[in-house]
Amino acid sequence: MPIIDLQPSFLVRPRLAPTESIRSLLHRLAVQNKLPLSMLGQPGRLGEATQIACELASAADWDRSELIQRAASASACESDQSDTCLRIGTALLGKRCVVGLQRRICPLCLVSTTWTPIDWEIRQNDACHIHQCMLADKCSACGASIAWLSHQHACDQCGLAWSNFEVRPASQLSSTFAKWTHSSVVMALRGIQRDGHSKNNGVRLEKLLLMLEVLRCEVLRQWLSPKLWADFGHVWSIQLLKDSDYRSWLWSEMFLHAAKDPMTLKKRCVRRDLYS
Ligand SMILES: [Zn+2]
Ligand SMILES: [Zn+2]
């Protein structure tokens, strides 16, 4: 019987918070154990963070199968997946759906907590669904980008605590989309599948993001001038998706018809009755 446990372990072993991402968990492990952050490589890089977290799983007492569902790189842990995918619960998304090296935070949430949720890493979501304020990706005092690794949860350049960053209110539509994103992330983590016909708030995460992108990039891009599209393409897409009849109709066009012939997607997704 071994007297000394040679298995490396950590003094503090943070538990996964309800919607926490793998990168946030890895960061907390480093901060709470006062580890040199350099030993974690570049945790902003999804593939690298996933590999490191999986390797540390048994020492940190983490459930590996749960870890790899937390906005983790699918290719880093499942060899049969394309390297463009990441996994959030039952949802598989393209990597461009999440922010890369740039971390984003809600200053008000970080007054009482140190973990950051998957919702804030979804690129299309720019607000906190609880406080209805914009997510910050830069220090409000000096403008430096927020780094994934920071020992103090503070700006690396001027030392301003993340929780003291200026709070900017979010628009109604950004707040609405933040709520949708949150409920879709929760559903994906719980393995609940609901399609675009659902009248409830809560569409499968990958479908929600796809509908938003089709509206923004295929439909509104045709309707609007480049300047208007750049300024309003995102929020007007959310406005259209708020109408459950429109959402349901778009869903049918995209998935029941256009799937047969993707080249006609643009034509099909312009609803003629809106102009008649
Ligand atoms: Zn918040
Ligand atoms: Zn700063």
The residue-averaged pLDDT of 227-248 equals 90
Å from CA of 182 to ligand 1 middle: 12
- Residue 127 confidence (pLDDT) above 90: yes
In whole angstroms, what separates CA 53 from the centre of its chain? Answer: 18
Q: Considering its fold, how many domains does the chain have in total?
A: 2
CA distance 235 to 60: 41
pLDDT band at 198; cut points 50, 70, 90? low
pLDDT over 90 percentage in the chain: 46
Side-chain half-sphere of 256: how many Cα atoms within 13 Å? 9
Residue 206 lies in a domain: yes
Å from CA of 55 to ligand 1 middle: 31
Å from CA of 144 to ligand 2 middle: 5
Residue 226 lies in a domain: yes
Nearest to 170 by CA among 224, 97, 214, 107: 107
Å from CA of 140 to ligand 2 middle: 7
The two three-digit tokens of residue 176, written as one number: 């609405």
Å from CA of 163 to ligand 2 middle: 12
Supply the pLDDT for residue 208.
Answer: 87
Å from CA of 106 to ligand 1 middle: 5
Å from CA of 45 to ligand 1 middle: 24
Residue 144 lies in a domain: no
Å from CA of 161 to ligand 2 middle: 9
Closest ligand to residue 106's CA: 1
Residue 147 lies in a domain: no
- Residue 6 confidence (pLDDT) above 50: no
Supply the pLDDT for residue 213.
Answer: 87
How many beta carbons lie within 10 A of that of residue 91, not counting itself?
A: 24
Among 58, 79, 97, identify where a domain stops: 97
Supply the pLDDT for residue 251.
Answer: 81
Range of the domain at 241: 193-274
Å from CA of 133 to ligand 2 middle: 19
Residue 51 lies in a domain: yes
Å from CA of 167 to ligand 1 middle: 10
Residue 174 lies in a domain: no
Å from CA of 106 to ligand 2 middle: 15
pLDDT over 70 percentage in the chain: 82
pLDDT band at 1; cut points 50, 70, 90? very low
Å from CA of 28 to ligand 2 middle: 21
Among 48, 75, 97, identify where a domain stops: 97
Å from CA of 45 to ligand 2 middle: 22
Residue 247 lies in a domain: yes
Among 50, 70, 97, identify where a domain stops: 97
CA distance 53 to 274: 50
Residue 252 lies in a domain: yes
Å from CA of 118 to ligand 2 middle: 24
The two three-digit tokens of residue 206, written as one number: 């990958």
Å from CA of 153 to ligand 2 middle: 11
The partner residues of 122 in beta bridges, in order of sequence, read 98
Å from CA of 130 to ligand 1 middle: 5
